[in-house]
Amino acid sequence: MNTLIENLLMLLILLLILSPYIAISVYQSRKYKHTEKVDKGSEVTYYKLSYRRKFIRSLWILLFTLIIIFLYHLYSSIDIERYIFIIAVIILYPIVQLAYTFSRWKNGNA
């Protein structure tokens, strides 16, 4: 029970740290909602990308996330329960994002 409380507290702290990022993300999402999407060339803003480019970017992010988690596992000494919780929280978002952008790309919704 104590581990569950610690994990939930860790998740709450993570959400508090990410709150400014989430607010900026929502703002940019609405700002670039009806603009022309970029499918070739370079683009810094994620929300200006087409769903195909968002999918490719998400694949790269997932790859780097897996590498970071693997390196963290090699050099950390945390218990397996907390490690599994960390992996579940960190990996869940990129997988959901991949599924969403892939379905939007294949359905032709730009």
pLDDT at residue 109 in the model: 64
Residues 62-93: b if buried by 16+ CB within 10 A, e if exposed: beebeeeeeeeeeeeeeeeeeeebbeeeeeee
pLDDT at residue 42 in the model: 79
The pTM assigned to this predicted structure is: 0.67
**DSSP symbol at 38:** B
Position 82 pLDDT exceeds 80: no
Sign of CA dihedral 21, 22, 27, 31: positive
Q: Where are the domains of the chain?
A: 2-107
pLDDT, tens digit (0-9, with 9 covering 90-100), for 13-72:
888 898 988 888 888 888 888 888 888 877 777 888 888 898 998 898 889 888 888 887
pLDDT, tens digit (0-9, with 9 covering 90-100), for 91-102:
888 888 899 999
Residue with tokens 């992010």: 61
Contact at 8 Å (CB) between 37 and 50? yes
Q: Distance between CA atoms of 94 and 63, rounded to whole angstroms?
A: 10
